[in-house]
Structure formats: C-alpha cells, structure tokens
Amino acid sequence: MNKKQAKERIVELRKKTEYYANKYYDEDKPEISDFEYDMMMVELRNLEKEYPEFVSEESLTQKVGGHVKEGFKKVTHDVPLQSLQDVFSLEEVEEFDIKMQEKAKENGIEKVSYVVETKIDGLSAALEYKEGKFIRGATRGNGLVGEDVTENLMTVSSIPKKINDKIDITVRGEVFIAKKEFEEMNEKRQQNDEELFANARNAAAGSLRQLDSKVTSKRPLDIYIFNVQKIDGKEFNSHYEELEYLSNLGFNVNPIRIPCSNIKEVKEAIKKIAEMREKLSFGIDGAVIKIDNLKFREILGSTVKVPRWAIAYKYPPEQRTTILKDIVCQVGRTGAITPMAILEPVVVAGSTISKTTLHNEDFIKAKDLRIGDTVVIQKAGDVIPEIVKVIKEKRTGSEKEFEMPTKCPVCGAEAIREEGEAAIYCTGIECPAKLLRNIIHFVSREAMNIDGLGESIVEQLLDRKLISNIADIYTLTFEDISSLKKNGKKFAQNLISSIRISKQNDLYRLITALGIRHVGGKASKVLAKKYKSMDNLMNATFEELQEINDIGVIMANSIVDFFNEEQTKDLIQKLKDAGVNMNAQKDENSYDDRFEGKIFVLTGSLEEFTRKEAGDLIEKFGGKTTNSVSKKTDYVLAGKEAGSKLEKAESLGITVISEQEFKEMIKK
C-alpha cells in the first residue's frame, strides 16, 4: 500500500468507525458485531502508526466514542472516564508486560503485579456520593462530559442510596442486564412483535438512557463497581485494596477480580475467565488487565483516550457450523409473521442451539439461505444465536429455496407485505395468535374504553375459555366475571356496567378498536364523520378512500383489505348481534380534537367535576391524562390542596390551569 492508498483507507475507516460507533453508543442499535468493529479499529490504529502524518484528533483512535443525548443535562467528569486499549492475543499481553517491566525499572519500582477482572459488557457510569449519600450519576459520554441519569440510576436496586461511611466518593461501574433477564426481555418483545435488542449491552444502554425513568424502572438493570474515581480523606496503595474497601462500603463490586504477581499468572487468569465465561450470569467480552500498584499507575499516566496502565484482552466470538434443517413461520401478537430457522442442534458458547430467528424475508434473501444449507452460527453478544453465513461450497444441489407464505399459517387469512415494510402481516382479526393483543387493544381507553378489562383479566378469560373472540366480551355474565377474583362481586358489577356502556360508544371508537393497520384515533374520527355507519365504511372503495384528507393510498389499501377479510365480516356481524352501536353520533363536537397530542395531569380536589369526568372530557377532545408530571406534560389542572405535582409543574415551567380556566377551554 502506497502513501496515497493509505491516506484514502484511513479516511474511509474513520468514516466507517464513526458511523458504527454512533449506532452503537448513541443510538444503541449496532449494525455490525463487536468483533467486526474491533478489527476495523485495529486496522485504523496500525495504519496511523505506520503513517503518523495522517493522525487526527477526530479519529476514534484518539478519542472516546459517544455523545451526550439531547434531553439530558451534561455532567463534566472530575476524573475522565477513559476507554481501554484492546488487544486480541496473548502475545500482545506479553508485550504489554515487557513494557510495564521496563517502565518499572526506569522508575525504581521493584515488582510489577496485576489484577485481572472480567470486562463486563454494559454501559459505564460514574456514581457520586456526598457524605455517604448517592447524589448524582452520569454516563461516560465522550469520557469528559456525560449525561445526568441520576433519576434512572435511582431505580437500579443494586446501587446503594447510602453507603457504610459518611465520605465523599465517586466510583465507576458497569451497568448491565444479566443473561437470563435479557433472554426473558427479548422473548417478551418477540411475542409482542417488538424489535429485539441486538445484545445485552445495548439493551442496558438503551434502558439507562431513557428520558422517562419509569421505563428504566421496568428494565432489569444491575451494576458492578470496578474503580474509585475520586475519594476525599483516604489513600490506597493497591487497586485490589480499593476493591475490597468498596465492597465493605456496600457496593456491588465486580465479583471476578484475580490478583496476579506475574505475567504467567495473568495468562492463567485470562484462560480461567474464558473457561468460566459461559457459566457467568452476566455477559462479558474480555478480561481487563490492570496494574495493581496505584503509585506506579500515577507514574505511567494516560493518553487522551486510554490509561497506559491497563489493557483489555478481547475474546473472539465462538462460531460453529450446523445444518439448516427447515424454516418455519411463527405469528406474533401483532400478526407479524416471522421465519424461524430449525437447526441441527449444536453447542455454541456453552448453550445448545436448535433454532434462531431469521427476522424477515429480506434477511433470508441477503444471506441466500436455503433449507438444507450448511451454515455458520454464533451468539451475538454471547446471548442471541444468529446465522453468520452460508458455506456455499458444501451445497449438493438438494437444497430448497424458501418462500414466505401468502396465507397466515395459524388462521389462513391473507398475509400481506406493505410497501416500505420488511415484515409480512396476518390480516385476520380473529386469528388465535393475535387474539390476546387484539382484545387488549379493543377494550383500551383510546378504543372501546372498557374499564377493568386489563391484560391479566383478559388472559384469565381466554385461559378459562370464557371468551374465544372479541365479540364474546358482550356475552360475559356476572358469574363468569365474579369467578375471576376472590370477593369479585363488586368488580363484576362494575365490569358488566362498563361493557354495557361501551355498546353505545360512537362509531369512531369502534373503528379505532378494530385495529386496522395504519388507522389510529384521528383517522377513525375522519372515517366516522365521512361514512356515518359501519356498513357504509365496509362498502367504501379504494378510490373514494384515498381522496379523503388524512387517509392516503397506504391507509386506503389497508382499510379495503381489512374489510374484505371474511374474519372481519364475521366479527362485525357478531358485534351487531350483541347490540354494539354501528353509527356515528350526530353531535359534531364528538370529533373536536382541540387537545390532540396534549398531556394533562390532574391534581387536588375539583369542585364541579370528578377527576374521571374531567379526564373523559380531555380524552373526548383528543388529549391524554397521566398520573405523573414530567417534561412531556403540557398542562396541570390544579384543584384545591394540590400538592407535590403542582410544585413539580412549577419547577419545570409547565402551564398550570385552574378549574375555571379548564371550563373556559372546553367551552370554546
């Protein structure tokens, strides 16, 4: 490679690494494996070493990846949260030791000892304590400036809010999600047809960097502390001593920390961690080798990006070959039809793998997968099994190409793939695979608003075979419902009343409740206002629909396809027989969406409305009500004796309205 070619390649690698780092650190949506990214960085680092005239401060070899996400306060770290220099062979570990031995000799250090720890695959964070109380937490960010995620970290149960000493200390740790919890999260997301997390690291990062701490609190985050960043009034001689002290303070310290007196013990520790890797409850992607002597660390110092006293040995991903025996399709709760690979069972990274998701039709075509192929599989992030490639040289000619189904494999309804979408969907509203999700949507507040029919109640009704389709809700008896709970008479009375009231709902609510793809609440109101009855809407043509403002081609197609399905016609008839209203109200105000997109919080005692009445009015005009005040809140309706919610609204600068002002808003 000549100088010109080297420069061009360096520029290309910088663009690529910056792009993939942004996907990894900032968007928490990696597009390539850690190993592929690491190999790019190795090539870039080697080229810059060979051609130092092309080294730039903007290169990721010279700075830490990651930026501060919009919406978070910035936190400047008193002590930078640096990255680590990666190495990929034991020879490089030996070279590191030789360098350390030379530096020790130059500075009169008699002995070089190390601590080897697991490199936890998570998101780095700094925790700040004042007089023993947790006061602030921040992400690493770019190493110098991070994001204030204190509220989110407060939801992590393994972070002590008070420690066992009234001192001022800042510690660094790795926030992660354990393997088992990660698998359970992804299983649930797959059932709900939600995008799967690529790996546990990005699931943890995405969870910690939520603007709403309520979302974070529902994620199974954990943390291991691995360093003292700053401490007042106390000194240590060794890193291992530091870790023991942190443990005594009550911190959840990295459990794998192996003291090593020489390089031979370091290499043994690396091998030992590799052997126990699959049995660990948490994911790791390497072993960290650190100088134990803290005074020696100070002498060695750091570069802009990494400390000179530590390296990270990265384990390569384990790959195996197996046979793709078959491809079968599963139907998720939203109707997405997902192809699954059935594999000849093979052990990868300690687990027996017999199947894995193939995501969608495009993935199969991009990999050129055929039934009968010999394929290479690995675990993405050591958790999710994935097919890496096909070994085409092993094809015999007996392999079969796979075609996605045109009919739902569960209910036989039409399966469609809309323009611009990767997934294929079942269109059947009575499909058993979608039934739970369809019912939950049908009864939701935005749809038929049947109060009391939550997910757990719906699941019980289905499990006990008290209902087998949406219309069966209207055949439920007092005895059916009261049997679901101990002393369930009051609950049954309220739910029967709510079901009965829902029969009189406006047509737009029923259209919303049917869950037609691409048709939300606003479009439902437009359709109800235009067609006046369900029969008219069912007979609407594509040409008519696409000419309506706010409908368009995609939505028109979806509506026509939906009402052409026999399952839809069957359900509508059952709902008619049950007495559910099929006509639009004459009151034009029922389509008034003056509060569209606005979020209200109600607090204190109202004089002329109950909270439910006020909430119903807000929702009637297209708004939403929530129980907690946040930056997303638009209005706080404050009655008498309003408390902490009012105070928080005022501190955030949110508009506070009185009951009289609310009355004026709804009179207009």
Report the DSSP beta bridge partners of residue 416. 425
Spatial separation of the C-alpha atoms in residues 374 and 391, rounded to whole Å: 6
Residue 305 DSSP symbol = S
Q: Which element (helix H / strand E) includes 422?
A: none
Q: How many CA atoms lie within 13 A of 465 on its CB side?
A: 0
Contact 156, 327 (CB under 8 A): no
Spatial separation of the C-alpha atoms in residues 328 and 357, rounded to whole Å: 10
Closest CA to 603 of 584, 624, 626: 626
What is the total residue count of the chain? 668
Catalytic residues: 119
Q: Please name the residue that has the structure tokens 């998101």.
A: 123
What is the pairing mode between strands 599-603 and 624-626?
Answer: parallel
| 660 Rama class: left (phi>0) / alpha (psi -120 to 50) / beta | alpha
Q: Which two tokens stand for residue 251?
A: 């911190």
Give every CB contact of residue 377 below 8 A, 6+ residues apart in sequence: 319, 320, 321, 322, 343, 346, 348, 353, 356, 385, 386, 387, 388
∠ CA 385-29-213, nearest 5°, is: 110
Q: Which element (helix H / strand E) includes 355?
A: strand 351-357
Spatial separation of the C-alpha atoms in residues 110 and 489, rounded to whole Å: 80
